[in-house]
Structure 1
């Protein structure tokens, strides 16, 4: 029966961590974004995040977006620099065309740093990207 279950492959949806200047607090903040490079809108996006390693684990955080339009992005979470020493997992579930999709994005420990910056699609900035 398991062989009859269709699990669609997620393409064109990414997670990125970007360092941005916060005008209000006059500080550099690290923010996680979800990026929809698809030509279709996504609905009911659920993002479950956690940080972990062999000895430690953060609280599990849950975020919801009602809609993420085609060719757009949205801020998912602010990140403290302390969690960069952990694996940071983003579990994303969403609906597209009436089908449910699910994908895990993993930023491995110590990979969120300025030395690993690359161009981020649609955002006109640099940061860390996981496809």
Structure 2
């Protein structure tokens, strides 16, 4: 029965950590974005995030987006620099073209840092892509 279940591979969707200036608090903040590079809208998106390593684990956070239009992006959450010492995982589940997709993106510990920033043209911002 398990062999009959087809789980399609996710492409055209990314999780990105972006360092941005916060005009309200006058600080540089790290924010997590989801990017939809597909030509179709994503629907019923659920993002489950957590940080972990061998001895520590954060609370599990859940975020829901009703839709994410084709070729667009959305801010998911602020991430505190204290969490960069952990692996930060984002499980993304969504529908596209009436098909359920699921992928887990991970920022390995100590990879979210200014030295790893690169230009992300779709966002017109500098960021780090999760693996």
Instruction: State the TM bucket, normalised to the shorter chain.
Output: over 0.9
Distance apart, 1:121 and its partner CA: 3.8
Structure 1: how far apart are the matches of 2:24 and 2:126? 22
Structure 1 runs not aligned, ≥5 long = none
**Ranges of 4+ aligned residues in structure 1 off by more than 2 Å:** none
TM-score for both structures, normalised by structure 2: 0.98
Alignment of 1:1-131 (within 5 A): 1-130=1-130
Q: How many residues align?
A: 131
Structure 2: how far apart are the matches of 1:104 and 1:47? 9
Distance apart, 1:130 and its partner CA: 2.2
Superimposed CA distance per residue, residues 7-43 of structure 1 (whole angstroms, 9 cap, x where no aligned partner)? 0110000000001111111111100000000011000
Q: Does the residue aligned with 1:3 lie in a helix, a strand or coil?
A: helix
Distance apart, 1:117 and its partner CA: 1.0
Structure 2 runs not aligned, ≥5 long = none
Superimposed CA distance per residue, residues 21-79 of structure 1 (whole angstroms, 9 cap, x where no aligned partner)? 11111111100000000011000000000000000000000000000000000001100
Structure 2: how far apart are the matches of 1:92 and 1:38? 15
Superimposed CA distance per residue, residues 79-130 of structure 1 (whole angstroms, 9 cap, x where no aligned partner)? 0000000000000000011111000000000000011111214111111112
TM-score for both structures, normalised by structure 1: 0.98
